[in-house]
Amino acid sequence: MDLFSRLMGREAPHSKNIAKERLRLVLVHDRTSVSPQLLESLKEDIIKVISGYMEIDKRGTEVSLNSDDKSVALVANIPVVKINRIFPER
């Protein structure tokens, strides 16, 4: 049945979703002109700033760019371990 589906031009849902996500990432990076190195640098800066106010799980932190037809959003998922009660001086 799988061979028949391929011959008829139907992709397995799994590969279709993977291709769709890859295309979305390429479009986001193309529209924003943000290199992976710049995104990683931005992630490190965000971690540095937030770490002054709370203890976070740095390994679990994810930063990405999401876009739709009209806008681009910076999305950060930062697991908080503990909130500091004493804030750093500026």
Residues 49-86 pLDDT 10s? 999 899 999 889 988 877 776 777 888 999 999 998 88
- Specify if 45 maps to a domain: yes
- Specify if 43 maps to a domain: yes
Q: What is the pLDDT of residue 77?
A: 92
pTM: 0.57
Which candidate, 26, 18, 9, 13, places its Cα nearest to that of 65?
26
Tens-place pLDDT, residues 5-47:
555 555 555 777 778 777 776 766 666 677 778 888 988 999 9
Which candidate, 15, 24, 83, places its Cα nearest to that of 55?
83
- Specify if 90 maps to a domain: no
CB 49 within 8 A of CB 76: no
For residue 3, pLDDT over 80 is answered with: no
- What is the domain count for the chain? 1
Name the CA radius of gyration of the chain, rounded: 19
* Largest distance between two CA atoms of the chain: 67
Domain of residue 43, residue span: 2-83
Q: What is the pLDDT of residue 5?
A: 57
- Specify if 89 maps to a domain: no
Helix (H) or strand (E) holding 62: strand 62-67
